[in-house]
């Protein structure tokens, strides 16, 4: 049972690792985010099935109530439902570049562009991102090529996140996904501990009889 649940958890963790690899590839990033949301949600579905097979549906329901009362977990459940049934999530993308002011210093970062993804609208989002990359690539080589320390970052943000910052509730997508995965792991561990304890209690009752 546990090897199956751990494998399902590892699947979600794999998709998270691919999100980190593809932050500079908008379409692929969206594909892996969709895969992560579905895979992470299925961890609880598999847990529910395993609990039923052990005759511990009541224990699962107790943990399910705790999960649904967690605003972060509820955010991801809603995000998965939207992605599966409606459309991709609305995300914000902050494109930044930086270079040290003096040799040996850490780079000073500057936001060069901010874009909001609303899939299904008439806004040519991916074309806009390609234009940003092409323009900044030219800029980097014409102005900063001799410096040798030019860097860039893509920072993907959820909006309306429960623990997000600012009026828009911004939260880095990668950090939020890690936060959710940690909660799912804690759920699996808690279920296993309580299930083992329940079996030990049953064994003790039988020995007393």
DSSP letter, residue 93: E
State whether residue 100 is helix, strand or coil.
Answer: coil
Mean pLDDT (whole number) for 74-102: 84
Q: How confident is the model at residue 175 (pLDDT cuts 50, 70, 90)?
A: very high
> pLDDT digit string (tens) for 16-69?
999 999 988 888 999 999 999 999 999 999 888 888 887 888 888 888 888 889
Name residue, tokens 């009889």: 209
Strands 91-99 and 151-158, by their bridges, are: antiparallel
Structural domain of 12: 1-208
Q: Quick one: pLDDT at residue 87? A: 79
CB-based contact 99:56 (threshold 8 Å):
no
Q: How confident is the model at residue 205 (pLDDT cuts 50, 70, 90)?
A: low
Domains in the chain: how many in total? 1
Instruction: Name the more confident of 195 and 209.
Output: 195
DSSP letter, residue 72: H
């Amino acid at each position: 049972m546990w090897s199956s649940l751990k494998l399902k958890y590892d699947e979600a963790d794999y998709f998270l690792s691919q999100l980190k690899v593809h932050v500079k590839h908008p379409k692929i990033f969206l594909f892996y985010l969709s895969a992560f949301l579905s895979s992470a949600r299925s961890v609880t579905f598999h847990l529910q099935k395993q609990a039923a097979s052990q005759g511990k549906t009541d224990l699962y329901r107790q943990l399910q109530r705790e999960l649904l009362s967690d605003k972060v977990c509820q955010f991801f459940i809603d995000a998965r439902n939207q992605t599966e049934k409606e459309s991709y999530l609305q995300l914000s993308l902050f494109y930044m570049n930086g270079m040290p002011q003096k040799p040996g210093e850490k780079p000073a970062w500057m936001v060069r562009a901010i874009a909001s993804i609303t899939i299904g609208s008439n806004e040519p989002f991916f074309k806009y991102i390609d234009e940003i990359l092409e323009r900044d690539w030219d800029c980097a080589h014409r102005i900063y090529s001799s410096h040798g320390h030019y860097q860039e970052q893509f920072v993907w943000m959820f909006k309306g996140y429960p623990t997000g910052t600012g009026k828009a509730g911004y939260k880095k997508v990668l950090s939020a996904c890690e936060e959710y995965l940690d909660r799912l792991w804690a759920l699996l561990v808690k279920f296993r501990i309580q299930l083992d304890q329940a079996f030990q209690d049953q064994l003790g009752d039988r020995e007393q009889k």
